Amino acid sequence: MPAILEVNGLNKSYKDSSFSLDDVSLTIPYGSIVGFIGENGAGKSTTMGSILGTLRVDSGSVQLFGRDVDHKNKTEKEDIGVVFDDLKLPKRLTVKKLNRVLNHVYKNWSEETFFYYVDFFQLSKGKAVGHFSRGMSMKLSVAVALSHQAKLLILDEATAGLDPTGRVELLEVLQTFVQDQDRGILMSSHITSDIEKIADQLVFIKGGKIRLSVSKQELLNEYVVARLSKEEVQQLTKTTIIAKKADGDHIEVLLTNRSEVSEGQLIQNRSIDDISLLLMRGDV
């Protein structure tokens, strides 16, 4: 069975910036939530924009449901729900008017689903969208993304601005979205604890390049972070080193193989946040 989304060798450069996407590839299998992790300016939004067609790529391919994406194809867009890092909905419209607009835009728009989520997230139907708080705006954007029978959700910092309760609610909704194994989510977030909670696959990006693509299970169960001396690092098998970062006289190393180091050298209880920091700040 092909993946919901397959991105292969995306390259994208800008005329007025030295930043570029460099051979970015990632896959979203059916039924999975892929966490897309990187610092500000790492290339997460550029990758998402390239997938969605808001940006034009220099080269590379994007396949949706096993077929090359054609950004001129309206039907494909019916299947993709999008939430950007801030509200991108018309600010003067009320929720009711927004429903009327989108009802005419999406063939599969479900008023019932939309108002279910509007009620679930306790959003006011008669208030202009522009008067919503950031958290409410994000919830409304998620309600929109979930109301047209999308099979793929692309969420760019969707949990930003939500209070803890709101984040828990949203994460539960997202887990329910993929539970039937026929849908998938690509989700970027600065709050790695959110990603740690719900993602199955993790993709780390730095400076426009994918640094690591791995299942969460494999990363947490098999990969290890060790604190070693320079001499000990030199004795490691090079191919097992994912990232290393100087820490005083020692070096912190992310390794794919636990057997390379002793129990005493391991840093215990490292979170995805710690690993992410090592990947983003360290080098290979």
Partner 1 sequence: MIGLLLNQYYSVSKTILSYAVAAFVLVLVAIGIGNELLVFFAMYMPIIFLVSPAFEVLKHESQSGWNKFVLTLPVHRGNIVQSQYVFFLFLTSIGIVITVMAFVVAEWVFGSAMNQELMYTMMTGIGIAFIMGGISYPATYVFGTEKSDTIVLVATLSGVGLFLLAQQGFARLIEQMTVETIASMNASLVFNGSFLLIGLVFFVISYFVTLGIYNRKEY
Interface with partner 1, residue 152, by CB under 8 A: no
HEC profile of 22-53: EEEEEEECCCCEEEEECCCCCCHHHHHHHHHC
| Options 41, 61, 74, 222; binder of partner 1; rule CB under 8 A | 74
Nearer Cβ to partner 1, position 53 or 245? 53
DSSP notation for 93-116:
SBHHHHHHHHHHH-TT--HHHHHH
DSSP 8-state class, residue 127: S
Interface with partner 1, residue 36, by CB under 8 A: no
Interface with partner 1, residue 88, by CB under 8 A: yes
Q: How far is the CB of 137 from partner 1 (least distance, A)?
A: 10
Nearer Cβ to partner 1, position 72 or 238? 72
Interface with partner 1, residue 53, by CB under 8 A: yes
Q: How far is the CB of 39 from partner 1 (least distance, A)?
A: 22
Cα 62 to chain centroid distance, Å, stands at 16
User: In the window 103-122, what residues touch partner 1 (CB under 8 A)?
Assistant: 103-107
Residues whose CB falls within 8 Å of the CB of residue 200, separated by 6 or more in sequence, listed in order:
29, 32, 33, 34, 215, 216, 217
Nearer Cβ to partner 1, position 104 or 238? 104
Nearer Cβ to partner 1, position 157 or 252? 157
Interface with partner 1, residue 125, by CB under 8 A: no
Q: Which stretch binds partner 1 (CB under 8 A): 19-27, 101-109, 112-120, 161-169?
A: 101-109
Interface with partner 1, residue 198, by CB under 8 A: no
Nearer Cβ to partner 1, position 74 or 281? 74
Q: What is the helix (H) or strand (E) element at residue 2, kind and residue range?
A: none
Q: Which stretch binds partner 1 (CB under 8 A): 35-43, 81-89, 177-185, 188-196?
A: 81-89
Residues that contact partner 1, how many (by CB under 8 A):
33
CB atoms within 10 A of CB 98: 20
Residues whose CB falls within 8 Å of the CB of residue 132, separated by 6 or more in sequence, listed in order:
87, 123, 140
Q: Which residues pair with 21 in a beta bridge?
A: 12
Interface with partner 1, residue 52, by CB under 8 A: yes
Q: What is the CA radius of gyration of the chain?
A: 20
Q: How far is the CB of 53 from partner 1 (least distance, A)?
A: 6
**Amino acid residing at 251:** I
Interface with partner 1, residue 100, by CB under 8 A: yes
- Three-state secondary structure call for residue 197: helix
Contact 134, 167 (CB under 8 A): no
Interface with partner 1, residue 151, by CB under 8 A: no
Interface with partner 1, residue 9, by CB under 8 A: no
Strand order in the sheet with 250-255: 224-228, 250-255, 241-247
Interface with partner 1, residue 267, by CB under 8 A: no
Residues at the interface with partner 1 (CB under 8 A): 49, 52-56, 72, 74-78, 80, 82, 84, 86-93, 97, 100-107, 130
